Amino acid sequence: MIKKEKPIFVTQPNLPPIDELTPYLRKIWDNKILTNGGPLHQELESELCKYLGVEHISLFNNGTIALITALQALKISGQVITTPYSFVATSHALKWVGAEPIFVDIDPNTLNIDPNKIEAAITPETTAILAVHCYGHMCDVDKIEKIANSYGLKVIYDAAHAFGVNCHCGSILNHGDLSVLSFHATKVFNTFEGGAIVCKDLKTKKHIDNLKNFGYLTDAEVVTFGINGKMSEVSAAMGLLQLRSIDQLLESRGKVDQHYRTKLSNIKGIKCVDGAGESKFNYAYFPILVTEDYPLTRDELFDKLKSYNVIARRYFWPLISDFMIYRNYPSATKENLPVANKTSNQIICLPIYPDLSLDNVDYIADIIRG
């Protein structure tokens, strides 16, 4: 097999034609409002509420600041049950508000937090559950809600991967007390950098909006310890352009996803990760598991793909619980997290983005087939 001249990366940002961005930039230059909740920011919030089917949304400069602010808005402290199988920002956000992450193992099929392991981790110090819709696959929201209600816990969803995902009752973002999105350049929907908090009532939105603007209530009154989390008008313009074509982008990603599944279906030792029967999925990632039946280890296959200029990603490896700053937590032991540890050593996310040709999918599948 001939090596590709140009690398095929795991993801590519969705970029509209530059001439379509120009009118938005002209508006920004003409009205001379660059940030602080300008007209494009307000328009994007309104359009996202319509598209996502949510009541209220607050835009942020990135998903991590949004997650920290969500925890702050709910006054989260003490112990918070969460997953080790996520990007490290999930646990970092807890530490930023002074909470302690308590790691719970994941479900072997969805790779989300295993709701059947949550109750055993609850203590008198537990105040919340921070779950992640990993790869855009929905958590078992009904079981998590039932547990939270039984113990009086808050529920926050790290929905960084879950833009546009629907469940049995509408948008997955309407579950929990708050849901947090990332609009980073690598995400299905991006604003270059950005994020958002989805909430259910106007009072909460106003509180979140105060928190992301240094805690200002009026220009002469600061009422809380806030931060600068505001999204710029340029990022909002990018988001408005993305929304124009988001359905076509998702459709294209879906075709790539289906082609992968067809091409990889008969390769022994390669398992495609499935969701939990979402009514609408966003094809944010294409994760596979390299099991014991495959002739190469996960790392050997990763290196082989790289030698052919296919730049995949071992995502998530290492686990959050394996990092030096977390590994001494009692809940971070390998014995407590057997599924997460096994998965972390088997996972590879293959390239997927709207412009990825099916010929390139064939090329990647042929490398894996050997």
Give the burial class of 96: count Cβ atoms within 10 A of its Cβ; 0-12 exposed, 13-18 middle, 19 or more buried: middle
The predicted pLDDT at position 240 comes to: 97
Q: Consecutive 10-residue runs of the chain (370 residues): their mean pLDDT?
A: 91 89 95 96 98 98 98 98 98 98 97 98 98 96 98 98 94 98 97 98 98 94 95 98 96 97 97 81 96 98 98 98 98 98 98 97 97
CA distances from 335 to 103, 159, 326 (A): 12, 27, 15
Which residue from 202, 230, 277 is spatially nearest to 69, judged by alpha carbons? 230
pLDDT of residue 86: 98
Structure tokens given for 38: 């300008």
What is the reported pLDDT for 16?
85
Q: What is the pLDDT of residue 276?
A: 65
d(CA 38, CA 29): 12
194, 239 Cβ separation under 8 angstroms:
yes
User: All domains of the chain, ordered by start, with CATH?
Assistant: 8-12+246-369 (3.90.1150.10), 18-241 (3.40.640.10)
Would you call 50 exposed, middle or buried from its count of C-beta atoms within 10 A (0-12, 13-18, 19+)? exposed
DSSP secondary structure string for all residues of 195-260: EEEEESSHHHHHHHHHHTBTTEEETTEE-S---B-PPPHHHHHHHHHHHHHHHHHHHHHHHHHHHH
**DSSP reduced 3-state for 302:** helix
Report the pLDDT value the prediction gives residue 196, as an integer from 0 to 100: 98
Q: Which of 95, 80, 228 is nearest to 156 (CA)?
A: 80
Rounded Cα distance, 114 and 194, in Å: 29
Q: What is the Cα 317 distance to its own chain's centre?
A: 16
Position 198, amino acid: V
Token pair 């106007």: residue: 202
CA 165 → CA 70, 85, 133, distances in Å? 20, 20, 10
Q: What is the DSSP string of 347-367?
A: EEEEP--TT--HHHHHHHHHH
Closest CA to 16 of 195, 237, 284: 237
Cα distance between residue 232 and residue 105, in whole Å: 38
How far is it, in rounded angstroms, from Cα 354 to Cα 368? 21
Concatenating the DSSP letter of every residue in 126-174 gives: EEEEEEE-GGGPPP-HHHHHHHHHHHT-EEEEE-TT-TT-EETTEEGGG
